[in-house]
Structure 1
Amino acid sequence: MNAVTAAPGAASRALAVLVSLSLLSLSASAPSPPAVEDAQWLARAVVATADNRAAPFAVVDKKNARVFVFDAAGRLQGSSPVLLGLAHGDDSVPGIGEREMSRIRPEERTTPAGRFRTEPGRNAQGEDIVWIDYDAAVSMHRVRATVKSERRLERLASPSVADNRISYGCINVPAAFYDAYIKPALGSRRGVVYVLPETVAPHERFEFLSRPA
């Protein structure tokens, strides 16, 4: 994470949250996948501040191109590599959701970071998806391997995270993982997805990190 200087009040509140988090335990139902530490740390903060409103939630780690699904108590249920927006950055271009895909430039294809209230939906092909940011047309959905030259399935299977940046901003998930974890947790109700930023510190995107636990 990038180091930043926080205001004294925010720093003290964040410290209070971190002290509370040290008293919590987070058990995984399976061996911890790579780079789970940041996701588990955020999950502890989510539960400690009740930001998830006692509902299952997911954390997307853009730096490591992985999604982590947690139950309402913050226990890790599963993790998977994902494909993300081609361009690095933490904000969607204003009005991008109203544009045709052919008019979106490569440098505008970002996956936004922050806390998102999700809702189940369907795309133009009738496929069930989870809306992350409806206005920006960003969703989480099963990976589509319709354009062979993009090699999306191969990118997901690759051990490198460098080739996981390919989408227009949506979060592409392996179909089996989507059906087993994403759909049960977020596919039938409104939920929360936390997308960790890659250009700023987490507390700049998650207000609850400065909230007393």
Structure 2
Amino acid sequence: MQRQDRAGPKRSEFVRWARAGVLAGIVVIVAVPMLTASWKRHHAAPPQASAPTQQMGAQPQPRVQLADFGAEQPSPDARLLANWVVATGNQRKHAFIVVDKKDARVYVFMPDGRLRDSAPVLLGEAHGDDVAPGVGDKPLEEVQPQEKTTPAGRFVAESGMNTEHEDVIWVDYDQAISMHRVRPWVETERRLERLASLTTDDNRISFGCINLPVRFYEDVAKPTVTQYGAIVYVLPEVKTLQQVFGAYDVTDPAQVAAARQSAKARPAVQG
């Protein structure tokens, strides 16, 4: 019994200390993660924000306005040129017309860059981007096959009349290059069939003028030029868009930056 009495107090003291140890352990288990989290909050690096598109305080870059071709699928050159015209305002708030010689197609745009309509065209029989010197002063029967080119370039469209009192859209009056209704007068030329074909190889038949389908000329091209005025862009087939127009891809930041740098490097025009 005495041994039991002596052992009793010791056992109770041991239990008391054990219980205290368990509680201390619980405190440690709970406190350590809390302290660790607190330390991390105060010492960890600040969270990284997603990369900003603009530096703080910098003005946001305006969205580039592009030509709207709607459901049309133009050639890469036609799209690049039309986008450049709209983005740079090269058409000077007029309507504009893009003639794609390689694709034998014409696109008529409203002043805001929306496509009004497009159609196939007939073009000069000879390939090339320059007009033959003096060809505008020659009678048609004296024009040589190699001189029957549709010149590439930027032209101011003018409504007018030709020598046969037919209304036309002058592209280059001095060289007698115009847009007009297709003329199916020479049966062997099969101009209507050429316009309707799905290939572009047979669209080269004119003396240099741009032949349009009759309804397209009367319902789209002529009214647009009359109402808004128009700039005509005839795309090259030998030269590049840069050579002829100074055009570049306005969706490519590197080309845009290069164009701006080139503009800054040009000498100022003296008044």
TM range (shorter): 0.7 to 0.9
The residue number in structure 1 matching 2:49 is: none
CA shift digits 1:142-188 (9 cap, x unpaired): 00111111000000000010000000000000000111210111145
CA shift digits 1:59-92 (9 cap, x unpaired): 0000010000111111111110000000000000
Q: What TM-score, normalized to structure 1?
A: 0.83
* Aligned with 1:32 (options 52, 65, 72): 72
Q: Say whether 1:155 aligns with 2:197.
A: no
Larger radius of gyration: 2
Output the aligned Cα RMSD. 2.1
Residues 91-130 of structure 1: pairs in structure 2 closer than 5 A = 91-130=130-169
The residue number in structure 2 matching 1:178 is: 217
Q: Distance in 2 between matches of 1:21 and 1:168?
A: 45
Q: Percent identity?
A: 49
Q: Say whether 1:78 aligns with 2:121.
A: no
Q: Distance in 2 between matches of 1:136 and 1:188?
A: 25
Note if contact 1:141-1:171 (Cα within 8 Å) is conserved in structure 2: yes
> Quick one: which amino acid aligns to residue 107 of structure 2?
F
- Give the number of the structure with larger relative contact order, counting CA–CA contacts within 8 Å between residues 6 or more apart: 1
What secondary structure, in the 3-state scheme, does the structure 2 residue paired with 1:60 have? Answer: strand
Greater fraction strand: 1
Q: Distance in 2 between matches of 1:25 and 1:79?
A: 17
Shift of 1:36: 4.4
Shift of 1:28: 3.5
Shift of 1:46: 0.7
Q: Distance in 1 between matches of 2:64 and 2:167?
A: 39
Alignment length, in residue pairs?
A: 192
Note if contact 2:91-2:231 (Cα within 8 Å) is conserved in structure 1: yes
Note if contact 2:177-2:208 (Cα within 8 Å) is conserved in structure 1: yes
Note if contact 1:120-1:188 (Cα within 8 Å) is conserved in structure 2: no
What secondary structure, in the 3-state scheme, does the structure 1 residue paired with 2:86 have? Answer: helix
1:168–1:89 distance in 2 versus 1, CA, 3 Å: same
CA shift digits 1:7-41 (9 cap, x unpaired): xxxxxxxxxxxxx9983344345x214x3443232
Task: List alignment gaps of at least 5 residues for structure 1.
Answer: 1-19
Task: List alignment gaps of at least 5 residues for structure 2.
Answer: 1-60, 249-257, 264-271
1:160–1:206 distance in 2 versus 1, CA, 3 Å: same
Q: Say whether 1:198 aligns with 2:233.
A: no
